[in-house]
Amino acid sequence: MVGFAVLAIAFVQRVGGHVRMELLIGKLHGRPLWFLESLGSGLAIFIVSILIPYSYDHFYRAFEFGDSTIDLELATWPAKLVVPVALTLLLARLGIQFLGYVRLLVNPKLPQLAIPSLKRPEEVAADEIRLAGATDDANPRTK
């Protein structure tokens, strides 16, 4: 379960699928937008870089003690290693994203690289409808 919950964070960050506060940022364009986005990414980098050593310490302590389940004595320390690995992937993703925002902050006319390509809610709904229609066409029971 840890893998499903934690390993996908960097991917969700990449596609911009995470929960965001779009009330203010959605109305901004150009340098103010890229400034706030880089500020948010920088704050996330700070938080994740603090979490990584503590999550690794938690894993290492479980590894040293041979942490396991009570009944079947299955080792639980491998699942605890997933958290610092996933946070390290997230830190790398956030670093790339931060550099992309700083690049756009310096020159907003450059193409948008290394940042999430966010879609408006209407575009997301249209994509989901199109995808649902494509799966219905492929299903012989719906014909």
Give the span between the Cα atoms of 105 and 37, in whole angstroms.
9
Which residues is 68 bridged to in the sheet?
A: 75
Which residues is 75 bridged to in the sheet?
A: 68
Half-sphere exposure of 6 (CA within 13 A, CB side): 18
Predicted TM-score (pTM) of this structure? 0.78
The pLDDT tens digits of the residues spanning 8-18 come to 887 777 777 66
How many other β-carbons are positioned within 10 Å of the β-carbon of residue 93?
22
- State the pLDDT confidence band at 32, using cuts at 50, 70 and 90: very high
φ/ψ of 11, rounded to 5, equals -65, -45
Domain ranges within the chain, ordered by starting residue: 2-118
Give me the pLDDT at residue 55, please: 95
